[in-house]
Amino acid sequence: QARQSHEFVCRYRSGWDEDHLRRLQLFADFKQALLNDEISLYYQPKIDPRQREHVGAEALIRWVHPEFGFVNPEEFIAVIESAGQISLLTRWVIRTAVKQVQQLRAQGIELTMSINLSALDLLEDDLHSYISKLLHEHELPSRCLCLEITESAIMQEAERSMANIQRLHELGLLISIDDYGTGYSSLSQMKRLPVTELKIDKSFVLDLDSNEDDRQIVKSTIELGHTLGLSVTAEGVETEQSRDWLVANGCDILQGYLYSKPVPAREFGHWLERYLRG
Ligand code: C2E
Ligand code: CA
Ligand code: CA
Ligand code: CA
């Protein structure tokens, strides 16, 4: 199958730009890449600065392609979405993350694992039953999973998306609003959603130390989140100075290179052991 698609790509090479060919190639190789372990999950800790034993993680996908090398997740996710295959990838991500959670529990470490969903995942009416079955098989409580969803994803087909988010919430999963502040936000929509976490995008956090505007934005976002009864997370925490500022201003959960970059499962396990030992 892989060779066939390669021939296909070669035959049509003339007349198409490099970019288009690259996307075609990524799409052609994607299923095999899942089987070959070219695609894997990395994990990045989510830290509660007030409670060391309370640690979570976000699963982030990585693809090291034999020809292209490291491929940016946003690039290949867009390719897979437009090819209508995202549900295959998302289910692989959820399965892999759930196995990781179970393995950590066997080592005595309980954590909540956050998973990123695409807009198209929210249009799948049976995602909740897939996850429910999976959790049941692994004897895991539903609160060990948090789904990170962007507002723009929800808005694409708002009624249907919200109905599906409601189902996922009723299953007991945690729901997070990701990339908060980057899209257009609708507070009235937010109020209707069963959300537990608001995640401030790293574009507001990376320059906290030097940018007063960002500090104002982050400060009022934390206040807004707390007014709505949400836990507020900041991603992109790279310096001790920004960590201290975020803690002083009431941010609940911190994530960023200051603590750890996203790392492979084994390395993440070692990181957790060191961190929890204190
Ligand atoms: P995101 O969900 O907003 O993820 C946060 C991004 O910030 C990640 O980039 C992470 O590696 C990066 N990051 C974390 N801490 C820091 C920091 O301190 N400094 C800087 N400069 N960056 C930091 P990554 O892994 O490249 O992922 C990019 C995007 O790809 C994600 O943005 C998410 O939208 C998407 N993505 C990744 N994995 C998946 C997945 O399994 N499924 C779906 N649907 N999307 C995914
Ligand atoms: Ca995310
Ligand atoms: Ca983000
Ligand atoms: Ca994102």
CA distances from 206 to 45, 61, 115, 147, 200 (A): 17, 22, 22, 23, 11
pLDDT in tens, 105-141: 999 999 999 999 999 999 999 999 999 999 999 999 9
pLDDT in tens, 48-101: 999 999 999 999 999 999 999 999 999 999 999 999 999 999 999 999 999 999
pLDDT tier for residue 15 given thresholds of 50, 70 and 90? low
pLDDT in tens, 256-275: 999 999 999 999 999 999 99
Task: Kindly report the protein residue whose alpha carbon is nearest to atom 27 of ligand 1.
Answer: 73
Give the residues surrounding ligand 1 with Cβ less than 6 Å away.
44, 60-61, 73-74, 77, 93, 116-118, 148, 178-179, 202, 235-238, 255-257, 262
CB 199 within 8 A of CB 177: yes
Task: Kindly report the protein residue whose alpha carbon is nearest to atom 22 of ligand 1.
Answer: 236
What ranges make up the beta strands (E) of the chain? Answer: 39-47, 55-65, 69-71, 113-116, 145-150, 174-180, 197-200, 231-234, 253-254, 263-264
- Number of C-beta neighbours around residue 139 at 10 A: 8
Cα pseudo-dihedral 144, 258, 119, 137, rounded to 10: -20
Task: Kindly report the protein residue whose alpha carbon is nearest to atom 2 of ligand 1.
Answer: 116
Query: What global pTM score does this model have?
Result: 0.94
Residue 278 pLDDT: 85
- Would you state the structure tokens that stand for residue 4, as one six-digit string? 């066939």
Residue 187 pLDDT: 74
